[in-house]
Amino acid sequence: MGALVDPYQRSITYMRVSVTDRCNLRCVYCMPEEGLNWTPTDEILSYDELLRIIRVAAKRGLQKVRITGGEPLVRKGVIGFIDQMNQIPGIEELALTTNAVFLKQMAGDLYKAGLRRINISLDSLNPKTFAEVVRRDIFDMVWEGIEEAERVGFKPLKINVVLQQGVNDHEVADFVNLTRRKPYHVRFIEYMPCANWDTWVKTYKPFQAVVDEVEDKFGELIPLNGANEGNSGPAENFRLPGAPGVVGFIHAVSHDFCDTCNRVRLTADGQIRPCLFSEIAVDFRDALRNDCSDEEIAGLLDQVLFVKPEYHELDMIAEQKKLTNMVSIGG
């Protein structure tokens, strides 16, 4: 079995693995307040099925796995799953993205299972604004989870901030100041067109305006070159002089990073999507449940490589290009 290389000579070394589409929050940019019709439990891949796909991919050069959801910490057994994944030869980096609601109770066990990297979704430092965005009054619980993760040794802690104009963009300076007090990586993520198109049109804010705002207030940022401190992927990372933390910008809409894309997404129901902004997916679940061989799994991975598009085409943005609900595809 050869390496995972697509027709555009991009090596696929990173897989985002959704273990559930369920979530305990109702973030306004992700899903409706009433929630969604969750995927039936028997249609969700078991941990053994997920591990089997990852093992085959790791033999072909997969190096990094990020566990996502929904909210991954709502699925029972996730700590044992992380422990098993940590033992797969070839997997060099294991990370998890969470809303941190359960992090205070689980951070210690996650660390013992071998997890070292956590990304935390935190769209406001103001409890009232935070409650409006996630539709839950739980800011203190989330912040305590962040502090506990730092205490047990997770480093670096990455804080993901989806910026929306008129919602939380007035907090940019507050988040930047956080990097002066804490060794956190605060990454501002451009709001992507998903779920509610009308809301996206009204609240999308191009990131050059954000960068300009930061430099106007704090002066010129110091760029971090090379590996960008911690395998940051598409983030452009900077530091304020003397600050222990990092400020990052991820601008998937205004400036794509498709030419260096090294990732695919495995959904909880067993589809691998080669591009976040494409409806194309390859089904692995049916093969797994019909006693397929590892060679057949490898063949399905080849199909994923074959259909991975060269670009996401968001420069031709229109309502039909919006994403399905982000919770269903693992972000």
CATH architecture, domain defined by 14-328: Alpha-Beta Barrel (3.20)
Q: Give the three-class secondary structure for 323.
A: strand
Q: What is the pLDDT of residue 326?
A: 56
Q: What is the pLDDT of residue 330?
A: 58
Kind plus residue range of the DSSP H or E element containing 163: strand 157-163
Q: Which residue has the higher pLDDT, 35 or 54?
A: 54
User: What is the mean pLDDT of the segment spanning 279-304?
Assistant: 97
pLDDT category at 209 given cuts 50, 70, 90 is confident
**Would you say residue 228 has pLDDT above 50?**
no
User: What is the mean pLDDT of the segment spanning 224-238?
Assistant: 65
Q: What does the alpha-carbon distance between residue 5 and residue 60 come to, in Å, rounded to a whole number?
A: 9
User: What is the mean pLDDT of the segment spanning 48-61?
Assistant: 98
The residue extents of the domains of the chain are 14-328
Residue 39 near residue 45, CB atoms below 8 Å? no
Q: What is the pLDDT of residue 30?
A: 79
In degrees and rounded to multiples of 5, residue 37 shows phi and psi of: -80, 100
pTM reported for the whole predicted model: 0.91
Q: What does the alpha-carbon distance between residue 6 and residue 262 come to, in Å, rounded to a whole number?
A: 9
CA end-to-end distance (rounded Å), the chain: 29
Using one digit for the tens of pLDDT, what is the confidence trace for 119-176?
999 999 999 999 999 999 999 999 999 999 999 999 999 999 998 888 899 999 999 9
Q: What does the alpha-carbon distance between residue 330 and residue 71 come to, in Å, rounded to a whole number?
A: 9
Q: What is the pLDDT of residue 319?
A: 47
